[in-house]
Amino acid sequence: MVAALDRKLLRDLLRLWAQVLAIAMVLACGVMVLVLANGTRASLDLSRQSYYEDQRFADIFATLTRAPETLLPEIAAIPGVARIAPRIESAAIVDLPKMAEPVSAQVISLPASGAPVLNAPLLRAGRMPSPLKAGEVALYAPFAETHGLMPGDRFDAVIEGQRRTLTVTGHLLSPEHIYTIGPGAMMPDDSRFGVIWMGQEALAAAADMDGAFNAISLSLTRGAREEAVIDALDHLLAPYGGAGASGRDGQISHAFLQSELEQLGAMALVIPPIFLAVSAFLVNMVLGRLIALERQQIGLLKAVGYTTRSIGWHYLKLSLGIGAIGIVIGWVAGIELGRAMTRLYTDFFRLPVLIYAPSAWPFVLSAALAMLTVVAGAWRAVGASVRLPPAVAMSPPAPPSFRRGMTDRIGAALGLRQTTMMILRGVTRWPGRAAITLFGVAASISVLIASYFTFDAMALMVDEIFFRANRQHVTLILSQSQTEAVLEDAAHLPGVLMAEGTYSLPVRLIAGPKEELTSLTAHKPDATLSRLIDSDSQPVTMPAHGVVLPEGLAAKLGLSPGDMLRVEALAPPRETWDLPLSATIRQTVGQEAYMSAPALYALMRRAPQVNRIHLRVDAAQYPALFEAAKSTPQIAGITVWTAIRTQFEATINENLTISTVIYAALGMLITLGVIYNAARIQLSERAHELASLRVLGFRRSEVGYVLIGELIGLTFLAIPLGWLAGYGFAALVTQAFTTDIVSLPLVVSRATYTKASLIVLATAIGAALLVRRRLDHIDIVQALKARD
Amino acid sequence: MVFCRKAPRLGATLWIETPMTQAKPVLRTEAVTRVYRTGSVEVHALRGVTMGLDEGEMVVLLGASGSGKSTLLNILGALDLPSTGRVFFRDRELTRASDRELTQFRREHVGFVFQFYNLMPALTARENVALVTEISENPMRPEEALERVGLGHRLDHFPAELSGGEQQRVAIARAIAKRPELLLCDEPTGALDSQTGITVLEALQQVNRDLGTATAIITHNAGIRKIAHRVIYLADGQIAREEINETPIPPSEVTW
Ligand SMILES: Nc1ncnc2c1ncn2[C@@H]1O[C@H](COP(=O)(O)OP(=O)(O)OP(=O)(O)O)[C@@H](O)[C@H]1O
Ligand SMILES: [Mg+2]
């Protein structure tokens, strides 16, 4: 049999269902984000981990120009090295009939016998290419699927200047290519960039690498020091054009996946506390009111012999009930969204298996936190009331005492109506409650701003990247650097209106203990196609001396303009220069160093060189240009900027729209929960007053104003607070989203501030009107009968 | 239906010289019934009440508990509608008016006083009165209304800082400040001791005399009937009998 008090508990939950649900939903958001972020992260992490282990993902990666295989024993002998996997890497232009533009690919050699020692690809379809048949290759599975290249199909590619016809034997995935991004691209694009695996002998013949290698990866023994091994490796490879080895954090695929995992971790840390705090306040507010209403019942229970503890436990159980509802909703939503998010990830992260399989701990943790939240919220309200002696509890609460103060002077000075005075005195009488409303609504606005500003940031990025910084239509990547005479040839390609060359060399930047591998680009002071821009999106005049770094890279190295840094050239002349940082620029994609071209060539003691050519092209002539590029051996890759932009915008719209809708819903829920509950409490406390106003001849709308005026007024007050918090929140988001490749600029447009405010305002008004409707059902006569 | 804002109103002096004889009803009911339905139970609170309230008249309603006094008063004040029958305010039929028009009627023409004062705790005495004067067309100043009930010295006190009698007088001040044509009081002295009750009744009688406000007072105290011009006895939802009182006495002479 259910105890009488427990039956009361169930009835209370049912009677207060709307308020209970409003709080439970806010709580559920916190629980949901915990389950979603931690669950997705764990799933992603787990699949990555087993993938890395099964396919022997390497620990250290290095590329070089060319080294003889006789160097390998020395590398293997570096203390801490477990296994080594040398190979040949090259670039190819793939000529696919359905693609007008040339498609780039990375070419990777497969050992003459057996699977690679490290970074073993995983066969998804067909078979591995035979090491004996020169024309057989395997393709990166998503690339092959996008182009419909099935095992047995043939296609043409230009590798090392030679055009060949290749036969597809199979589709592969690889732990190095969980996230694949082509040169110059900003997002994965399986239609424009692929990976080709071919037998070592065939590639060695094509690339003139017999008995040599130009890339190597290492795995480490347990306990080995990564930096020590990298230093030793760099030392060994330096004479052979070593471009600087890096650990996993320098491997693009790994770094991207890692940063996604960190973003999920940050999401789980930053967002749930907001929702949990708001729910705790709401529980406090609602329970406080319920207990105030039930003072006499409490007194009665005590009078008939219930203990203080059992009464306190009764109210605590009510809040635990709210917690339980929130947990269940949060779990279900978290699992569903986790599944959806994992599906979304499978488009970006090519893992052999990625299923949403959260472990138990996010559920346990979220439930524990949610219960803690409701108990914390209930504690004070329950504690204060159940301790009342029965006699006091039985008498009605003393009428609220109002004091004369500031409000009166303000009211008198402004000639405010008495109904407005009632609102003002309500705010000053219960400042804590007003503060909760302010806090909740401001939190709502900040969540919305932090979500909508990403569109501003992306719009700025598109504008800067495609219209201000990169005004070229096409960039040609040359297989080897050449003299500036090559610009003449480029200018004669079909449709080319203007050609501008740049040169970049791999460097290591060193500032004290901090190091970064990147490339240093010779920037011509008069360049008009590829420009550098500052944080106001304005073109930067290239300083004559010193190095220019993107803000993000400078910050990473702990440098500000004027500081000295060491630049180690990882290509000939392989010298080390101490140079000042002369300026910082804004670069949202890619983090490269720049120097004035004459200054760099002077340091290098070389004639000007070119390894990238930027072109402005007559749009009508694209096909002819692409045709020419496909048959020009010196061109190793081609970047078509409009195509990148289209794809960038499409990806943003798709992914951002989903997450924005989710965050907007989260943001609105806070306001809904706070305003709805506050309005319900107002209605319950003031029913008598409001009915009296109706008796006095006030219209429904006027009485409605007294009921919701305070809440709407507080909402307006919360807007600027929300703006401030939203900007801070946006700053956190930019930090979380910044990777080595993309750094999100912190810009919040007026439209975003306005949109966030309007949405929250509309939600607040909607929530308040939901309650105001109840005003119509108040029985005036009934309300006047009793004193309370 | 729109209630005329400038209802004809007799000057106080004129009325004192010509009592009762020329009076016309401000408010009247025709065969009003009120049935409450709670579940399957029907309660006939009023079973056909026909009555009128004349200009400048003070009426006391007496009757046993549950006889329908409050129900009738609420219907007179348009807080509630009868189940059948009609209610007229001058020539206008209230029983046909919309909710909005009824609100307008209360706003312009009716003042209420209840047993439990119903003041706004967040507003001072003066502000509680101002609450009503702000939405009236030709009100007296809040200070004047409070002086009429002897509270000129308590203007800036919040209800919590006033005694019960003082609170009730603030409620009366609030009810009369708009110069209503009707003053409806449901047990205005019910929560007060005799001395305080007398002050409150004096305030009501004075308003009735000075402003010519038609006043209806519900009470359980039969002694109070002597201050009225007319006494209506309700029993079981019907008017049992009426009494005309030719010489109303001042409240101070009421035997409590
Ligand atoms: N809302 C209601 N629902 C059901 N019955 C009601 C309701 N209001 C009043 N009644 C019933 O109608 C009858 C008349 O009630 P009313 O309040 O008018 O009495 P009253 O004469 O004012 O009594 P009292 O002197 O106790 O205030 C009573 O029997 C009462 O129980
Ligand atoms: Mg009554």
The ligand that comes nearest to the alpha carbon of residue B79 is 1
| Minimum distance, in Å, between the CA of residue A431 and any CA atom of chain B | 14
The ligand that comes nearest to the alpha carbon of residue A780 is 1
The number of angstroms, rounded, from the C-alpha of B100 to the middle of its chain's C-alpha atoms is 21
Chain A window 695-754: which residues touch B at a Cβ cutoff of 8 Å? 695-700, 702
Spatial distance between the Cα atoms of B212 and B13, rounded to a whole number of angstroms: 9
A490-496 contact pairs (CB < 8 A, 24+): A490/A613, A490/A615, A493/A615, A493/A625, A493/A628, A493/A629, A493/A632, A494/A621, A494/A624, A494/A625, A494/A627, A494/A628, A495/A617, A495/A618, A495/A620, A495/A621, A495/A622, A495/A624, A495/A625, A496/A615, A496/A616, A496/A617, A496/A618, A496/A625
| Angstrom distances, CA of residue A184 to CA of A65, A459, A638, B180, B186 | 21, 19, 9, 83, 85
With a cut of 60, say whether residue B8 has pLDDT above it: no
Spatial distance between the Cα atoms of A112 and A130, rounded to a whole number of angstroms: 9
Give me chain A's average pLDDT, please: 89
CA-closest residue to ligand 1 atom 12: B45
With a cut of 50, say whether residue B132 has pLDDT above it: yes
Tens-digit pLDDT profile for residues A504-546: 998 999 998 998 889 999 998 888 898 888 888 888 888 989 9
**Peptide linkage before A573 cis (omega within 30 of 0):** yes
pLDDT at residue A176, as a whole number:
95
Q: Which of A90-99, A458-467, B20-29 has the lowest mean pLDDT?
A: B20-29
Asked if A330 and A370 count as a contact pair (C-beta separation under 8 A), the reply is yes
A116 CB-side CA count, 13 A: 32
B32 assigned to some structural domain: no
φ/ψ of A571, rounded to 5, equals -135, 165
Q: Does domain A496-617 match CATH 2.40.40?
A: yes
- Name the DSSP class of A431: H
- pLDDT category at A382 given cuts 50, 70, 90 is confident
Spatial distance between the Cα atoms of B230 and A145, rounded to a whole number of angstroms: 100
For residue A240, what are its two tokens?
């052979």
Q: Which residues in chain A touch residue B118, judged by CB atoms under 8 angstroms apart?
A: 688, 692, 695, 784
% of chain B residues with pLDDT over 70: 91
CA-closest residue to ligand 1 atom 24: B65
Mean pLDDT on B185-213:
87
- pLDDT category at A200 given cuts 50, 70, 90 is very high
pLDDT at residue A658, as a whole number:
78
φ/ψ of B157, rounded to 5, equals -95, 140
Q: Which residues in chain A touch residue B161, judged by CB atoms under 8 angstroms apart?
A: 401
Tens-digit pLDDT profile for residues A219-236: 999 999 999 999 999 999
Mean pLDDT on A756-773:
92
Domain boundaries, given as residue ranges, for chain A: 1-58+253-397, 59-252, 405-470+642-788, 496-617
pLDDT at residue A643, as a whole number:
85
Confirm or reject: Cβ of B46 under 6 Å from ligand 1.
no
- pLDDT category at A2 given cuts 50, 70, 90 is low
Whether B156 sits inside 8 A of A696 (CB atoms) is: no
Vertex A288 angle, CA A283 and A294, to 5°:
125
- pLDDT category at A394 given cuts 50, 70, 90 is low
- pLDDT category at B14 given cuts 50, 70, 90 is very low
Sheet holding A81-87, edge to edge: A81-87, A212-220, A60-68, A246-247
Domain span at residue B217?
54-80+97-253
- pLDDT category at B15 given cuts 50, 70, 90 is very low
pLDDT at residue B3, as a whole number:
44
Mean pLDDT on A635-657:
83
Tens-digit pLDDT profile for residues A424-469: 888 888 888 899 899 999 999 999 999 899 889 988 988 888 888 8
- Cβ atoms within 10 Å, residue A190: 19
Q: Which of B80, B132, B174 sits opposite A781 (nearest CB)?
A: B80
Q: Which residue shows structure tokens 């990806």? A: A651
Identity at A457, one-letter amino acid code: A
Q: Which of A325-334, A352-361, A709-718, B236-245 has the lowest mean pLDDT?
A: A352-361
Secondary structure string (H, E, C) spanning A237-270: HHHHCCCCCEEHHHCHHHHHHHHHHHHHHHHHHH
With a cut of 50, say whether residue B27 has pLDDT above it: yes
Asked if A592 and A523 count as a contact pair (C-beta separation under 8 A), the reply is no
Q: Which residues in chain B touch residue A400, judged by CB atoms under 8 angstroms apart?
A: 121-122, 160
- pLDDT category at A306 given cuts 50, 70, 90 is confident
- pLDDT category at B21 given cuts 50, 70, 90 is very low
With a cut of 90, say whether residue A639 has pLDDT above it: no
With a cut of 50, say whether residue A338 has pLDDT above it: yes
CATH number of the domain within which B127 lies: 3.40.50.300
Spatial distance between the Cα atoms of A52 and A697, rounded to a whole number of angstroms: 76
Ligand 1 midpoint to CA A157 (Å) = 96
Tens-digit pLDDT profile for residues B73-116: 999 999 889 999 999 999 899 999 998 899 899 999 999 988 88
- A79: three-class secondary structure by DSSP: coil
For residue B99, what are its two tokens?
């909710």
Q: Which of A56-65, A146-155, A299-308, B61-70 has the lowest mean pLDDT?
A: A299-308
B168 in contact with chain A, both atoms CB, cutoff 8 A: no
With a cut of 50, say whether residue A40 has pLDDT above it: yes
| Minimum distance, in Å, between the CA of residue B3 and any CA atom of chain A | 14
- pLDDT category at B19 given cuts 50, 70, 90 is very low
Whether B79 sits inside 8 A of A780 (CB atoms) is: yes
Spatial distance between the Cα atoms of A425 and A381, rounded to a whole number of angstroms: 23
Q: Which residues in chain A touch residue B134, judged by CB atoms under 8 angstroms apart?
A: 417-418
Confirm or reject: Cβ of B43 under 6 Å from ligand 1.
yes
Mean pLDDT on A781-785:
72
With a cut of 70, say whether residue B134 has pLDDT above it: yes
- pLDDT category at A266 given cuts 50, 70, 90 is confident
Q: Which of B41-45, B125-129, B194-198 has the lowest mean pLDDT?
A: B194-198
Mean pLDDT on A242-254:
91
B28 in contact with chain A, both atoms CB, cutoff 8 A: no
Give me chain B's average pLDDT, please: 86
Spatial distance between the Cα atoms of A379 and A373, rounded to a whole number of angstroms: 10
pLDDT at residue A397, as a whole number:
66
Whether B160 sits inside 8 A of A401 (CB atoms) is: yes
Strand partners, A548: A583, A594
For residue A298, what are its two tokens?
């409490």
Number of domains in chain B: 1
Asked if A297 and A692 count as a contact pair (C-beta separation under 8 A), the reply is no
With a cut of 90, say whether residue A786 has pLDDT above it: no
Mean pLDDT on A243-265:
90
Residue B72 alpha carbon, nearest atom of ligand 1: 18
Mean pLDDT on A308-320:
88
One-character DSSP codes across chain B: ----SS-----HHHHHHS-STT--EEEEEEEEEEEEEETTEEEEEEEEEEEEEETT-EEEEEE-TTSSHHHHHHHHTTSS--SEEEEEETTEEGGG--HHHHHHHHHHHEEEE-TT----TTS-HHHHHHHHHTT-SSPPPHHHHHHHTT-TT-TT--GGGS-HHHHHHHHHHHHHTT--SEEEEESTTTTS-HHHHHHHHHHHHHHHHHH--EEEEE-S-GGGGGGSSEEEEEETTEEEEEEE-SS---GGG---
| Angstrom distances, CA of residue B52 to CA of A539, B15, B58, B205, B216 | 89, 18, 11, 19, 11
Radius of gyration of chain A from its Cα atoms, rounded to whole angstroms: 33
Q: Which of A234-248, A400-414, A607-621, A737-751 has the lowest mean pLDDT?
A: A400-414
- Cβ atoms within 10 Å, residue A316: 19
CA-closest residue to ligand 1 atom 30: B66
Tens-digit pLDDT profile for residues A397-423: 666 777 777 777 777 778 888 888 888
- H or E, element range at A422: helix A418-429
Spatial distance between the Cα atoms of A345 and A260, rounded to a whole number of angstroms: 10
Identity at A379, one-letter amino acid code: W
Instruction: Look up the pTM and report it.
Output: 0.82
